Amino acid sequence: MQLSNPFLQSLGVELVHWVSGEAEFRMPIEARHLNRQGMLHGGLVATLLDAACGYAGLHAAEGEAEVHGVTVMLNVAYLQAVRSGTVLARGRVSRNGRSLYFAEASLLAEDGRLLATAQGTFRQGGGRHVA
């Protein structure tokens, strides 16, 4: 599955599952992902959860035009720290509206521990713009 997102690609994030209403990303933790305490950086945790939620509502079938969107609001709960291994961010749409959709995501360690959760509101649209 090809990920066309330069920012996520630069972090070593891999899109491993993407269907309508669901998305999952995998990322092996590297030294560059850690904060000063040697734990996965909270900003990166939020990024993974945001991507999982966002992508869950933006799937397009093969042959259809790409669907883009923006985050309106994201709430993150940090539950446990992780220092090594691989993390999985799993997102799913919980409700669709006319212009907004609502999604939730979980960040899991490779041993299944729940590291963080998120709930967010997203707006479809906002295609690519060239400045």
Residue 114's alpha-carbon distances to 16, 66, 69, 109, in angstroms, are: 19, 31, 27, 7
Average pLDDT over residues 14-31: 97
**Would 129 be classed as within a structural domain?**
no
Predicted confidence (pLDDT) at residue 16 exceeds the cutoff of 50: yes
Query: Band of the pLDDT at 43, cuts 50, 70, 90?
Result: very high
- Is the pLDDT score of 128 beyond 70? no
**Structural domains counted in the chain:** 1
> In the chain, what percentage of residues exceed pLDDT 90?
82
Does the residue 73 lie in any domain? yes
- Residue 101 resides in a domain: yes
How much is the CA Rg of the chain, to the nearest whole Å? 14
Domain limits at 29?
A: 6-124
DSSP string spanning 54-118?
A: HHHT----TTSPP--EEEEEEEEEE-----SSEEEEEEEEEEE-SSEEEEEEEEEETT--EEEEE
CATH number, domain containing residue 115 = 3.10.129.10
Record the tokens describing residue 14, joined without a space.
């891999």
Task: Judge whether 98 lies within some domain.
Answer: yes
Backbone dihedral angles phi then psi of residue 44, each to the nearest 5 degrees: -75, -35
Residue 121's SS3 state is strand
Residue 1 lies in a domain: no
Residue 19 lies in a domain: yes
